[in-house]
Structure 1
Amino acid sequence: MSENTEKSSSDVPIGPSSNEDNERDRPDGEALRLPSFVAGSGTLDRLVDTARDYARAAASDNTLKAYAKDWAHFARWCRMKGAEPLPPSPQMIGLYLADLASGAGSSPALSVSTIERRLSGLAWNYAQRGFTLDRKDRHIATLLAGIKRRHARPPVQKAAILAEDIRAMVAALPFDLRGLRDRAILLLGYAGGLRRSEIVSLDMHKDDTDDGGGWIEIMEKGALLTLNAKTGWREVEIGRGSSNQTCPVHALEHWLHFAKIDCGPVFVGTSRDGKRARNTRLNDKHIARLIKTCVLKAGLRPDLPDAERVKLYSGHSLRAGLASSAEVDERHVQKHLGHASAEMTRRYQRRRDRFRVNLTKAAGL
C-alpha cells in the first residue's frame, strides 16, 4: 500500500459515511464528517454543517465550478484508459497532459495556460481528498516544460475600453430604468477598475445579504466601496466626475433613486419592460453581455466584423481601460486595482509608458 493511501486511511475525514472510497472521491468541503470515535449530537452536527460552509468559502464559486469540471474530466479520462484517478499517479497525469496538448481524437488541443489551470485544478482536488500531487515530479515537470517550449504563445489580452470608448458606450444606452442601471454599472466598473464579480456583489450596506461581497458609502466628494476581492478586503475611492453625463457617482445615485433601492444588492434585475426593479442580484455574466452589446451599439472598432469586435472585449476591458487611461503615478493605479505587484498592473496598461524612456538614445545611439 502506498504512503498516500495509508495516510488517507488513518486520517478519517469529518462527516457521516460508510463508504471510504466514496468519501475520498469527494472534496473535503462535501465529505466533512465526525471522526468515527466521536458520538454525534445536535451541536456537533450543526458544527459539521458550519465547517462545510467554511470549506466551500475557501474559493470563489466560479473557481470551485472550474475545479469540479477539471476533476470530472480527468476522472472520466482515467476510467476510459482503464485506470483510477486515486491515488495520484505522476505517470498517468503526465499522459493526461500530453493528451490535452496534442488534441488527440476529436478533442481540440488546449492552450498552455488552460493546461496549467487544469493541473492546478487537479492539485487542488487531490489536496481536498487528502493526497499530495507533486508538480515537480519529473513525469509532470519535464513534460510540462516540453509542452511550453513547443506550444507556448504570447498571452492574448482583451482590448482596453478607453475614456472615449466608455463615453460612447454610455451615450448609446437608453434612459429607462434598465438603461440607468447599465450606465451606472459601466461607469462604476470603469472608474473603480472593478472585476465583474465585484460589481454584482455590491450591497447597499454591510451585512445586508449573506452572498454580498462588499458595500458602498456615498459621500459629498464621491463613493467609497469596501470590497472582499481576490486579494482580500480593500477600499476603492471613486471620485465624482467632471460632468453628470459621465460621473459614475451621479449615475449610481440616479439608479438607486429611481429603482428605489435602499437595502440589499445594488445591481438587480429589472422587469421585462425595463420599468421596475426586481429583488434578484444580477449575475456577473450580465456585465460581459452588456459590454459586448454596448461595443456594437457605440460602433467601436468599425474596421472589424461584428463577431471579431465582440471577441476583443470582456469584463476585464474595464480594468484595463482605467489602467491605460489614468495619467497618474503607477502606484496609485496599482493600489486602486488591488494588485500585489507593479508588474501585474503593467500587464493591464495597454498604451502607457511605451517609448517614454528611450534607452537607445540614452546609450548614445
Structure 2
Amino acid sequence: MSENHEKSPSERPIGSSIDEDDERDRLDREALSVPSSVAGSGSLDRLVDTARNYARAAASENTLKAYAKDWAHFARWCRMKGAEPLPPSAEMIGLYLADLASGSGPSPALSVSTIDRRLSGLAWNYAQRGFTLDRKNRHIATVLAGIKRKHARPPVQKEAILADDILAMVATLPFDLRGLRDRAILLLGYAGGLRRSEIVSLDCGKDDTPDTGGWIEILDKGALLELNAKTGWREVEIGRGSSDQTCPVHALEQWLHFAKIDFGPVFVGTSRDGKKALETRLNDKHVARLIKRCVLDAGIRADLPEKDRLALFSGHSLRAGLASSAEVDERYVQKHLGHASAEMTRRYQRRRDRFRVNLTKASGL
C-alpha cells in the first residue's frame, strides 16, 4: 500500500456521488450481524458492535478509506454500463480493469500498481459481503497479465533524505515549542526509519490511549519503541547520537519536557502562538507537510523547480534515507525497518555498493 491515497481524476464521481463513509457504515451492517436463526438481544447487539470495531481494526484507516473508494468507483462504473456490482462477475471485472488501463473520456489511464490496488480493494469488499472473487479466473488474470506486460514500469521512488539533508532540515526549525516538536519528529523518524503513521501514533506509555500505535521507553543509552506496525508488533532501538544537536533521543526529551507531556500521545498540536501543547494527536499528514516545507527551506535539490522538489519527497523519504545512509550490515537495516525480506530493504537503499559481490570474477572471468 501507498502511504497516501489522493483522489485521482478517475475517482471523481460518475453520475451521482456516493459518500464513502456511508458506504463503509452500510458494509459494516451487512458484513456483521446476528444470525437470522438467533433471537436478537441487548448483549448480542453489543457483541455485534464490538465485532464490527475489531473488523475495522483489521486494516489501517487509510487502507479502509482506499478500499471504500475502490468499491464506490467500481459500483458507479457498473451502473454507467448498465450492470450490477453484485454478485461478482469475472467478465465485468476484466472489462473494468481494461477500462482503467486504457483510460476513457476525461479519465487518464491508471498505473499498473494502482490497478493492482483497485483489484485488491474489490476482492476485500466482496469478501466482506460474503462473496469470493477468483483473481485467477482467466477473464481477470489474463487481462491483468496483459496490462502488466504492456504498461508496467519500474516503481517511482521518492528521494531519500540523507544525513546531511536531515541536519540541514532541522537547522531551519526555530527553538520554540513547535520547533522542538518538529525537530523531534524529523530526527526520531529518520533514526527509527519510521513511517509517518508510526511517528504520530506513539504514546508515552503502554495503553495510554485506545488508538495507540505503540509507546516509548527512554533509557540511558537510547529510546526503545514498541510499534504496532503494518507487519505486527516490532521493537525499534534508537541509540543516542554523537551530540545533543543531532541526537533524536535528546530532541524527544526536550520536546516532552517543555511540552509537559508524560501521558497520552507523544506528538500533539500546539496553540496558535506555539507556546502551549494541546491534547489532540497530530495527523500523519503533518509529517509529510513538515518534510516538504523543510526540504524547501533547507534548499535541498535547489537545482529543480519548487513543484518538482515537492514531488520528490514524502514521509517515506525518512525510511529511505536511513536505509541508504546507515553504514552497517544489511540485515541490521532490514530488522530495523521491519522488512520481511532483504529484497524489500534493497528497494529503500537509494545508494549502496551494488557490485560488492562480483559473481563475474567469482566465476573465473
Offset from partner CA, 1:196-252 (integer Å, 9 cap, x none): 110000000001000110000001000000000000001100000000111000000
- Classify 1:25/1:97 alpha carbon distance in 2 versus 1 (closer, same or farther; 3 Å): farther
Shift of 1:361: 4.3
Contact 1:29 1:53 in 2 (8 A): no
2:249 is matched with 249
- Classify 1:211/1:197 alpha carbon distance in 2 versus 1 (closer, same or farther; 3 Å): same
Matches within 5 A, 1:219-258: 219-258=219-258
Offset from partner CA, 1:328-363 (integer Å, 9 cap, x none): 111111111011111111111110122323444445
SS, match of residue 182 in structure 1 = helix
Matches within 5 A, 1:36-185: 36-185=36-185
Aligned partners of 2:236 and 2:223: how far apart in 1?
8
Aligned partners of 1:110 and 1:139: how far apart in 2?
19
How many residues align structurally? 344
Contact 1:29 1:56 in 2 (8 A): no
Aligned partners of 2:175 and 2:339: how far apart in 1?
35
Contact 2:223 2:239 in 1 (8 A): yes
Shift of 1:31: 3.9
Which segments of 5 or more consecutive residues in structure 1 lack a partner in the other structure?
1-21
Contact 2:67 2:121 in 1 (8 A): yes
- Classify 1:23/1:153 alpha carbon distance in 2 versus 1 (closer, same or farther; 3 Å): closer
- Could you tell me which amino acid in structure 2 is paired with residue 137 of structure 1? N
Aligned partners of 1:24 and 1:137: how far apart in 2?
27
Which segments of 5 or more consecutive residues in structure 2 lack a partner in the other structure?
1-21
Aligned partners of 1:111 and 1:49: how far apart in 2?
38
- Could you tell me which amino acid in structure 1 is paired with residue 37 of structure 2? F
SS, match of residue 27 in structure 1 = helix
- Could you tell me which amino acid in structure 1 is paired with residue 201 of structure 2? S
1:326 is matched with 326
1:347 is matched with 347
Aligned partners of 1:356 and 1:274: how far apart in 2?
49
Shift of 1:147: 0.7
- Classify 1:150/1:289 alpha carbon distance in 2 versus 1 (closer, same or farther; 3 Å): same
1:209 is matched with 209
SS, match of residue 34 in structure 2 = coil
Shift of 1:23: 11
2:259 is matched with 259
Shift of 1:48: 1.1
2:19 is matched with none
1:280 is matched with 280
- Classify 1:300/1:24 alpha carbon distance in 2 versus 1 (closer, same or farther; 3 Å): closer
TM-score (norm 2): 0.91
Contact 2:269 2:277 in 1 (8 A): yes
Contact 1:103 1:109 in 2 (8 A): yes
SS, match of residue 88 in structure 2 = coil
TM-score (norm 1): 0.91
Offset from partner CA, 1:140-169 (integer Å, 9 cap, x none): 111111111111111100011111110110
Contact 2:268 2:282 in 1 (8 A): yes
- Could you tell me which amino acid in structure 2 is paired with residue 134 of structure 1? D
SS, match of residue 279 in structure 1 = strand
Aligned partners of 1:267 and 1:222: how far apart in 2?
18
Q: From the CA coordinates, give the structure whose radius of gyration is larger.
A: 1
Offset from partner CA, 1:267-305 (integer Å, 9 cap, x none): 000111111111000000000000000000111111111
CA RMSD of superposed structures (Å): 1.7
Aligned partners of 2:176 and 2:271: how far apart in 1?
11
SS, match of residue 227 in structure 2 = strand
Aligned partners of 1:250 and 1:30: how far apart in 2?
50
Contact 2:215 2:225 in 1 (8 A): yes
Aligned partners of 2:260 and 2:219: how far apart in 1?
19
Aligned partners of 1:73 and 1:193: how far apart in 2?
34
Contact 2:23 2:68 in 1 (8 A): no
Shift of 1:24: 12
Shift of 1:115: 0.2
1:199 is matched with 199
2:32 is matched with 32
Offset from partner CA, 1:311-332 (integer Å, 9 cap, x none): 1111001001111111111111
SS, match of residue 255 in structure 1 = helix
Contact 2:31 2:130 in 1 (8 A): no
1:5 is matched with none
Aligned partners of 1:349 and 1:30: how far apart in 2?
44
Shift of 1:29: 6.4
SS, match of residue 235 in structure 1 = strand
